[in-house]
Amino acid sequence: EVVVLGSSRAGNVRAAFFERPFVNMAGAATDLESLRLLVDRMLAVHRPKVVLLGLDFWWLTAGAPAGRPERIVQPSLLDASTLRAPWRWLVQGRISPADMLAPLQHRLRADRYGLEAQLRDTGYGPDGSLYEGAVLDGRRPAPDHAFARTLREQESGSGVWAGSLAPDRERLEAFAEICCRLRSRGIRTIVFLPPLATPVLGALADRNGGDAGWLSALRQGLLDCGVESMDFSDPRVYGSGDCEMMDGLHGGDVIGASLVRDMGDRQPWLRDMLHREYLSHVLRERRGLAAVPDERLTALPEADFLGLHCAKKRRGEATPRF
């Protein structure tokens, strides 16, 4: 009944937040063209009641990568590239010689699929949402320590940070057409802007003359095309902060719970679909942490993995499932 669409930045919305059938397809859309393709393929087989659509603002800027629908190819498990992959990962340092022996030593778990899931507690959960187990507890270095990687890419103007922050009218209209397609099928659609770390927001403001007018221009541009949006860009607005971020662009579980509860507060029809007792427990007990404990991942306490001097409490018992 409830589907999340968007990039990996919407991957922190969990099935546990809802009392209705739920799936998160975050990561399947990385630009407007892949979002359009995703919506087409979804509607061909299923019509959910609700879509929560995470919008990356750079999809709508003049300098955004154009993107194009990709032909989906089913890989063969026996092709040469697949067979060479473990050796390539060994050379790249992604796995160790001991990891190569794990299958022979029966150290692999039957309920895990993929290298990252087996060795790092990282990957997609049964509901489609994203997990970063080994980063959270410090077993694996955070790739965006102190948000340095995101800020470096931002300063160089590479990738998603290329070009102007001003929204492009043609892209706004293309996005509005996608939203219209969902709503014309009777699907209640909430468009939201996922969070950014505060240093990233500050650097973006500096690029725009010291204010956040670019965000106002984006929201107004969407409104002019008939699309209302909820802006969760700044975690401080809803009582969160950088200690609840996974990196410069991705919020953790607690931020996900914050924005879902806020959506329910603004949209009464959504409120009845939420697991409000669970959300209240998370936001009462886990403030300042990125993750909600999950015994399926690890019993290790959350570390200050971003190096921000965050006061991380020890986990203790897992959060109740109610």
User: CA–CA distance from 300 to each of 64, 119, 242, 314 (Å)?
Assistant: 40, 15, 21, 8
The pLDDT tens digits of the residues spanning 211-266 come to 668 888 899 999 999 999 999 999 999 999 999 999 999 999 999 999 999 999 99
Does position 76 have pLDDT exceeding 70, yes or no?
Answer: no
pLDDT of 316 reads: 45
pLDDT of 214 reads: 82
Query: What is the domain class of 2-70+126-285 according to CATH?
Result: alpha beta
Give the pairing type, strands 122-124 and 22-24: unpaired
pLDDT of 70 reads: 46
- Residue ranges per domain, the chain? 2-70+126-285
pLDDT of 77 reads: 65
Least Cα distance to 298 among 132, 78, 151 occurs for: 132
CB atoms within 10 A of CB 130: 22
pLDDT of 211 reads: 66
Does position 210 have pLDDT exceeding 70, yes or no?
Answer: no
Average pLDDT, the chain: 89
Fill in the DSSP letter of residue 108.
S
User: With b meaning 16 or more CB within 10 Å and e meaning fewer, what string describes 159-178?
Assistant: ebbeeebbbbeebbebbbeb
The pLDDT tens digits of the residues spanning 93-136 come to 888 888 888 888 888 888 888 888 988 889 999 999 999 989 99
pLDDT of 118 reads: 87
